């Protein structure tokens, strides 16, 4: 086993051990199960005289490493508690996230003076910002099913309809607060240039879903048409950002300086847009690609994906279980890498289909197939028309992002300029909303499946990916002969 494969399995098995502890499996059980598995590998190695089984026995220990690390650096989910639930309290703390506003409500994470983190929902009597000191009153409740994902941030409870008694604006310098102010400035410029769902869609495509306030009808349309992910910034958006930054700085900077500026720009963009899991994943993988090109090294997609997941779970082990965006992001990426090529190879035999359409269709179908079992398990269904709507809309995303960014800059300089510039992109946004609305008419495919069915589905998909990989390798050998 070479170093590359050993590193890959180190990342994967470490994450597996970390996920086991985060899901509530006792460390002792993981240790005993791993040692038993390693012993079986040793016996198989002795019986078959194949060295690879001895390697399997050695690397299986890395599961224990991930489990032990997670046990040491993080608290089990069940220990994340607050000292007094279901009681009316007055609490003071610091706003620890960029507040999200929706209609007349705002929500944010409050880090209390005692070190706890609470999810606060409050009317916009005082519009708070990141870093502000706030005093709130309300009843602390345990996290609901819909807010369970906040466990990954260390949140121990929530206060719904909290009363903000007093607050004090932060006056110290904060890069993160400055980036949030910039994002809000861009968002406000877009809102002045567009209206309704077009404004929300423009914000979502450029800045992510945290900046988008969709109407209830349009939000349902996006779910029914399978296009919600368009406003969840991903690798597609990061690639666009990297290309735009390189296009700007390459004219007046050397290659070395351009590399540094682009890397810094990507980091700032990720922080500004809220550092969602899909964006962080894409930024790390994109940065690894830039580093590989800079060092003239081969970029291994599989290694980059595993290393990125490892880095993200090292920082926050609970992501592998409690962050749905994290899981779906990597699963869809796996579908693009291993399922899409199988589909694209099959579609090449269909006459009169352009290559770009074949590639776009295969990538969309591959990603949809990969995440489908999880979507059925967690949400109970997927869109019937999701593949078609995504094939139509995805190629237009770079165009919309570019035009909206120009309109936003014009709007910051002068509101009339932004309004005039909006006419260049308004027809495309209208096209987006119409396609999403039409796609929503197809409804959802609702199927209730069990965890066992999900496991079997991924075993089958994994087998297909391995089969195709060996088939390609066999075909290349025959061609050489």
The domain that contains 128 carries what CATH number? 2.40.50.140
Q: What is the largest CA-CA distance in the chain?
A: 79
Report, as an integer, the average pLDDT of 437-444.
Answer: 85
Residue whose C-alpha is closest to residue 318's, from 151, 89, 120: 151
Report, as an integer, the average pLDDT of 215-230.
Answer: 84
Give the end of a domain, one of 73, 101, 128: 73
Shared domain for 345 and 292, answered yes or no, is yes
- Beta-strand pair 163-168/100-102: unpaired
Shared domain for 379 and 450, answered yes or no, is yes
Shared domain for 388 and 285, answered yes or no, is yes
Q: Which residue is it, tokens 């061609």?
A: 479
Q: What is the DSSP letter of 126?
A: S
pLDDT single digits (tens) 103-126: 778 888 998 888 888 898 888 877
Tell whether the model's pLDDT for residue 186 goes beyond 50: yes
Report, as an integer, the average pLDDT of 72-99.
Answer: 71
pLDDT single digits (tens) 388-434: 888 888 888 888 888 888 899 899 989 899 899 999 899 999 999 99
pLDDT of residue 82: 55
Shared domain for 23 and 144, answered yes or no, is no
Q: How many CA atoms lie within 13 A of 7 on its CB side?
A: 12
What gap in Å lies between CA 187 and CA 199, rounded to an integer? 9
pLDDT of residue 51: 77
In a domain, 344, yes or no: yes
Query: What is the token pair recorded at 221?
Result: 């349309």
In a domain, 79, yes or no: no
Shared domain for 236 and 369, answered yes or no, is yes
pLDDT of residue 478: 44
In a domain, 480, yes or no: no
Shared domain for 265 and 331, answered yes or no, is yes
Shared domain for 416 and 451, answered yes or no, is yes
Query: What is the token pair recorded at 137?
Result: 């009153």
Report, as an integer, the average pLDDT of 443-459.
Answer: 82
What gap in Å lies between CA 61 and CA 31, rounded to an integer? 9
Predicted confidence band of residue 84 (pLDDT cuts 50, 70, 90) = low
Predicted confidence band of residue 74 (pLDDT cuts 50, 70, 90) = low
Shared domain for 16 and 163, answered yes or no, is no
Tell whether the model's pLDDT for residue 236 goes beyond 70: no
In a domain, 78, yes or no: no
pLDDT single digits (tens) 281-324: 878 887 777 777 777 777 777 888 888 888 888 888 877 777 77
- Containing structural domain, residue 347: 181-471
Question: Any idea which of 21-25, 79-83, 344-348 has the lowest mean pLDDT?
Answer: 79-83
Tally of structural domains, the chain = 3
pLDDT of residue 80: 44
pLDDT of residue 77: 43
In a domain, 82, yes or no: no
Across the chain, mean pLDDT equals: 82
pLDDT single digits (tens) 312-362: 888 888 777 777 778 888 888 888 888 888 888 887 777 777 777 788 788
3 state SS of 112: strand
Q: How many CA atoms lie within 13 A of 202 on its CB side?
A: 29
* Geometric angle at alpha carbon 472, from 467 and 476, rounded to 5°: 145
Query: What is the token pair recorded at 42?
Result: 């040793």
What gap in Å lies between CA 246 and CA 234, rounded to an integer? 19
Radius of gyration of the CA atoms of the chain, in A: 24
Give the end of a domain, one of 43, 73, 103: 73
pLDDT of residue 430: 92
- Please give the C-alpha separations between residue 227 and each of 214, 387, 440, 446, in angstroms, as whole numbers: 13, 9, 9, 17
pLDDT of residue 394: 83
Report, as an integer, the average pLDDT of 161-185.
Answer: 85
pLDDT of residue 435: 92
pLDDT of residue 32: 92
Shared domain for 10 and 143, answered yes or no, is no
In a domain, 481, yes or no: no
Shared domain for 359 and 412, answered yes or no, is yes
pLDDT of residue 36: 92
3 state SS of 169: coil
Query: What is the token pair recorded at 306?
Result: 């595993």
What gap in Å lies between CA 14 and CA 59, rounded to an integer? 10
In a domain, 80, yes or no: no
Tell whether the model's pLDDT for residue 480 goes beyond 70: no
Q: How far apart are the first and last CA of the chain?
A: 26
Shared domain for 130 and 258, answered yes or no, is no
Report, as an integer, the average pLDDT of 227-240.
Answer: 74
Give the end of a domain, one of 149, 172, 195: 172
In a domain, 436, yes or no: yes
- Please give the C-alpha separations between residue 229 and each of 145, 171, 299, in angstroms, as whole numbers: 21, 36, 26
Shared domain for 121 and 250, answered yes or no, is no
For the entire predicted model, the pTM comes to 0.75
């Amino acid at each position: 086993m070479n170093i590359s494969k050993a590193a890959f399995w180190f990342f994967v098995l470490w994450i597996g051990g970390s996920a086991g502890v985060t899901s509530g499996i006792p460390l002792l059980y993981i240790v005993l199960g791993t040692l038993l598995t390693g012993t079986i590998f040793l016996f198989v190695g002795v019986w078959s005289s194949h060295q690879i089984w001895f390697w399997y026995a050695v690397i299986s220990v890395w599961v224990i490493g991930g489990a032990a690390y997670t046990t040491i650096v993080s608290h089990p989910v069940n220990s994340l508690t607050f000292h007094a639930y279901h009681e009316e309290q007055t609490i003071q703390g610091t706003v620890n996230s960029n507040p999200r506003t929706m209609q007349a409500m705002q929500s944010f994470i409050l880090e209390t003076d005692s070190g706890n983190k609470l999810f606060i929902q409050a009317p916009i009597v005082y519009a708070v910002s990141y870093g502000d000191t706030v005093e709130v009153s309300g009843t602390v409740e345990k996290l609901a099913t819909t807010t369970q994902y906040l466990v990954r941030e260390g949140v121990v409870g929530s206060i719904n309809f909290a009363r903000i008694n007093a607050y004090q604006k932060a006056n110290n310098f904060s890069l993160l607060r400055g980036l949030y102010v910039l994002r809000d400035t861009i968002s406000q410029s877009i809102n002045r240039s567009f209206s309704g769902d077009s404004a929300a869609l423009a914000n979502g495509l450029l800045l992510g879903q945290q900046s988008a306030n969709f109407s209830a009808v349009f939000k349902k349309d996006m779910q029914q048409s399978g296009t919600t992910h368009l406003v969840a910034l991903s690798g597609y958006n990061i690639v666009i950002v990297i290309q735009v930054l390189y296009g700007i700085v390459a004219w007046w900077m050397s290659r070395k300086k351009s590399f540094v500026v682009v890397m810094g720009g990507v980091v700032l963009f990720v922080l500004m847009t809220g550092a969602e899991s899909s964006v962080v994943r894409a930024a790390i993988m994109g940065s690894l690609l830039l580093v590989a090109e800079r060092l003239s090294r081969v970029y291994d997609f599989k290694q980059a994906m595993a290393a990125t997941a490892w880095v993200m779970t090292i920082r926050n082990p609970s992501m592998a279980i409690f962050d749905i965006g994290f899981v779906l992001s990597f699963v869809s990426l796996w579908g693009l890498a291993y399922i899409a090529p199988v589909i694209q190879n099959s579609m090449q035999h269909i006459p009169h289909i352009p290559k770009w359409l074949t590639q776009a269709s295969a990538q969309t179908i591959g990603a949809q197939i990969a995440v489908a079992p999880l979507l059925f398990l967690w949400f109970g269904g997927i869109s019937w028309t999701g593949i078609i709507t995504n094939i139509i809309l995805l190629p237009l995303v770079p165009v919309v992002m570019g035009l909206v960014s120009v309109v936003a800059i014009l709007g910051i300089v002068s509101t009339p300029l932004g309004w005039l510039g909006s006419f260049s992109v308004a027809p495309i946004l209208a096209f987006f909303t119409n396609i999403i609305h039409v796609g929503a008419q197809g409804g959802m495919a609702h199927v209730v499946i069990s965890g066992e069915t999900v496991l079997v589905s991924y075993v089958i998909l994994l087998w297909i990916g391995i089969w195709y990989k060996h088939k390609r390798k066999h075909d290349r050998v025959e061609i050489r002969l």
